[in-house]
Amino acid sequence: MDINDFFNHVEKRLPIVPASEIYDFMVKICHETMRITSEINRSYHTPEELCQLMSQLTGEKVDPSFSMFPPFYTDFGRNIHLGKNVFINSGCCFQDQGGITIGDGALIGHHVVLATLNHDLSPDRRAHVIPAPIVIGKKVWIGAHATVLQGVTVGDNAVIAAGAVVTRDVPSNTVVAGVPARIVKTIEPDAQERMVPVPEKILSDDSDYPSTCK
């Protein structure tokens, strides 16, 4: 079993069963990832040092334009793929066994969770984990404390409001908000708005939706 075997398995979205060869391999990588994330989070690092550590973590060269404010947490690390000019704010948690791809210019807010694993609903198979990838497009902005669940693709230029829980694909050039997240606005070309208000009709339908993206 090597990393390519693991990638082939999760690309097919096959379950990862405890005590199996692939499960044991995953746990081995997770322990190596704990070592690297502990190094990232334990003290100050220059931007260049952070790029080097993230390259070790992901197993591929991270572009020098990447920036991040630690702490940063991830279960696996080796299935994270970062574009150019990506920014990750502090406290983010990436569960990346199923694959996380983040496009050029994406902005990831404080304490964002990207979760690529699910569990079987059957109690007898509850410990089985089922992978599916998350794809974040170019120039996406994900607000603080948002959660994106497995199998979701977020289109280019989309905005995910603070605190949203995204359970389905997000079209390009849209704003989504709420739990579960739904479209509340379309982003016009060359929009110059700094704050993104939720339409009054949406607020009157469900006051739980936030009125701005942060």
Extract the tokens encoding 137: 């497009």
Cα–Cα distance measured from residue 100 to residue 139, given in angstroms and rounded to the nearest whole number? 15
Question: Within 10 A of 22 (CB to CB), how many other CB atoms are there?
Answer: 17
Q: Torsion angle, CA of 132/78/12/84, rounded to 10 degrees? A: 70
Cα–Cα distance measured from residue 172 to residue 179, given in angstroms and rounded to the nearest whole number? 19
**Rounded to the nearest 5 degrees, what angle is found at the Cα of 71, between the Cα atoms of 117 and 165?**
40
Q: Which of 45, 111, 119, 128 is catalytic?
A: 119
Q: Any catalytic annotation for residue 81?
A: no
Catalytic residues: 119
